[in-house]
């Protein structure tokens, strides 16, 4: 039987109790936190949709794998298991382990970017762009224009605009492009996928000009599901086959194991170029750990190896995508503005329309995030002008076209009943949206300011 919203393909073996504070408690806590939900204690959050990074519920097989951890400082058997799994499922020749995805981003940026070079990508992500810019790169957005419009419904809204990429090559020359970074899926566009055709054409264009392509593989399994569901010729291919084909059209990838690898920590950099691999191995010792653990424990590496094999299970990934679709469909039915189409890892409330009474300089997405917690005990995260940061040269705010609140659903953690609580909270707040007050800075960090910044109400 095929259902629109399939039931959870698992049974619950262990539970964690949560509590709902009173509204008065939440108002007090949010003010004390400087209207930044990152400062909340997790025990004060009823439903935590801050991120899907490292918040996965691991399986019984993964927990069993933890007991098989070989904690040798060098040459852990768990590393060799993980390395073999990554090569099998991703298809790259070389693997460098890191403590999480940003460790891989940092190493790749150090070995692949010369100061002043461009790094085109299909929309920025916060930590990715930071590492690129910190190593002298200049980010250039080459995603299709439609990705910046929250109401346009396209099957592959994360696609690279090949004309934009060609224009950069024509204007600056291929030698001035460090590499092209393609995210699958595109986080800040709303978890939007990239088609296999677009991956193939981007790779062909780049290699015609001698430019390398690196994939941000963080949610590659989710991207594969959308390809299977939406792209002609892939309906009868397995998720594992589609994942592997995606990486044929790249020279390497960075991976945060905390998302689609179904673990709570870890990551890796995968490469095909032996010289880059040699340099990356030298740097991993400096910044992460030995090339046979890279900041992870043996038990973490074992859990990741098992998680990769579980992530491509058809029942798992279908439930994953459709649970989020259920939440999005409930919000759309109530008229709550969200980014469309519904993406792969969360729902993105469109703060520009939700808080139409607030100008962007009053940080409507940050204000909406704080208000949603007070209203419902649900913690989301701002993805707008605060996350976009400042231009490293001019010091002026980046002004993103999308001003959103990301409600990111952890994997295998919540039920449809939890999604109903989230939907009810969003709908209730939307019905009194003009009560949401704008924010201004109290403390603005110089780097990745959305993590530790503090605000007060205007």
Please state the separation of Cα 130 from the chain's center in Å: 15
Going through 189-320 in order, the beta strands assigned E by DSSP cover 213-216, 252-256, 267-271
- Name the one residue in this structure whose structure tokens are 């690129």: 132
Pairing of strands 118-121, 94-98: unpaired
- Tell me the angle at which helices 126-134 and 101-112 cross, rounded to the nearest 10 degrees: 30
In what order do the strands lie in the sheet containing 404-408?
Answer: 346-350, 404-408, 381-383
Distance CA 244, CA 91 (A): 6
Question: Measured between alpha carbons, how far is 339 from 281 in angstroms, rounded to an integer?
Answer: 40
Secondary structure of the chain: what % helix, strand, coil (to 5)?
Answer: 45, 15, 40
- E strands within 353-444? 378-379, 381-383, 404-408, 439-443
Residues annotated as part of the active site: 73, 125-126, 216, 259, 383, 450
- In the chain, how long is the greatest CA-to-CA distance? 61
Cα 24 to Cα 182: distance, rounded to the nearest angstrom: 44
Nearest to 368 by CA among 389, 345, 347: 347
Specify whether the CB–CB gap between 104 and 269 falls below 8 A: yes
Give the distance from CA 108 to its chain's centroid: 18
* H or E stretch at 139: strand 138-141
Residue 200 parent element (H or E): helix 196-208
């Amino acid at each position: 039987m095929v259902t629109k919203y399939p039931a959870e393909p698992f049974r619950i073996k262990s539970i964690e109790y949560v509590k709902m504070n009173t509204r008065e408690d939440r108002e007090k806590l949010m003010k004390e936190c400087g209207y930044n939900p990152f400062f909340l204690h997790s025990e004060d959050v009823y439903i935590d949709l801050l991120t899907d990074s490292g918040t996965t519920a691991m399986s019984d097989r993964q927990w069993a794998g933890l007991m098989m951890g070989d904690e040798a400082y060098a040459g852990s058997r768990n590393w060799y298991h993980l390395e073999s799994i990554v090569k099998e499922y991703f298809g790259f020749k070389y693997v460098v382990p890191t403590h999480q995805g940003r460790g891989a981003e940092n190493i790749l940026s150090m070995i692949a970017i010369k100061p002043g070079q461009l790094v085109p990508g299909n929309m920025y992500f916060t930590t990715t762009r930071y590492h690129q810019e910190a190593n002298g790169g200049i980010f250039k957005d080459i995603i299709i224009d439609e990705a910046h419009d929250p109401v346009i419904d396209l099957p592959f809204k994360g696609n690279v605009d090949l004309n934009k990429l060609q224009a950069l090559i024509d204007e600056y020359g291929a030698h001035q492009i460090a590499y092209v970074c393609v995210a699958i899926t595109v986080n800040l566009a709303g978890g939007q996928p990239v088609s296999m055709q677009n991956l193939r054409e981007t790779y062909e264009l780049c290699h015609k000009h001698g430019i390398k392509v690196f994939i941000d593989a963080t949610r590659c399994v989710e991207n594969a599901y959308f390809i299977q569901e939406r792209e002609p010729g892939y309906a009868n291919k397995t998720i594992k086959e589609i994942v592997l084909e995606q990486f044929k059209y790249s020279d390497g990838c960075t991976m945060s194991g905390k998302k689609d690898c179904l673990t709570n920590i870890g990551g890796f950099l995968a490469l095909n170029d032996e010289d880059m691999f040699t340099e990356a191995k030298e740097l991993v010792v400096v910044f992460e750990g030995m090339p046979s653990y890279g900041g992870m424990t043996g038990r973490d590496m074992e859990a990741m190896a098992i998680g990769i094999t579980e992530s491509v299970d058809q029942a798992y990934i279908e439930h994953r995508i459709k649970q989020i679709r259920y939440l999005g469909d409930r919000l759309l039915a109530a008229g709550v503005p969200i980014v469309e189409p519904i993406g792969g890892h969360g729902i993105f409330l469109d703060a520009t329309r939700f808080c139409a009474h607030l100008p962007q300089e009053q940080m409507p997405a940050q204000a909406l995030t704080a208000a949603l917690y007070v209203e419902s005990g649900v913690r989301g995260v701002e993805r707008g002008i605060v996350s976009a940061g400042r231009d490293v040269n001019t010091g002026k705010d980046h002004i993103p076209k999308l001003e959103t609140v990301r409600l990111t659903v952890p994997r295998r953690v919540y039920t449809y009943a939890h999604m109903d609580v989230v939907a009810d909270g969003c709908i209730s707040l939307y019905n009194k949206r003009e009560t949401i007050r704008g924010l201004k800075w109290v403390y603005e960090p110089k780097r990745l300011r959305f993590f530790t910044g503090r605000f007060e109400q205007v």
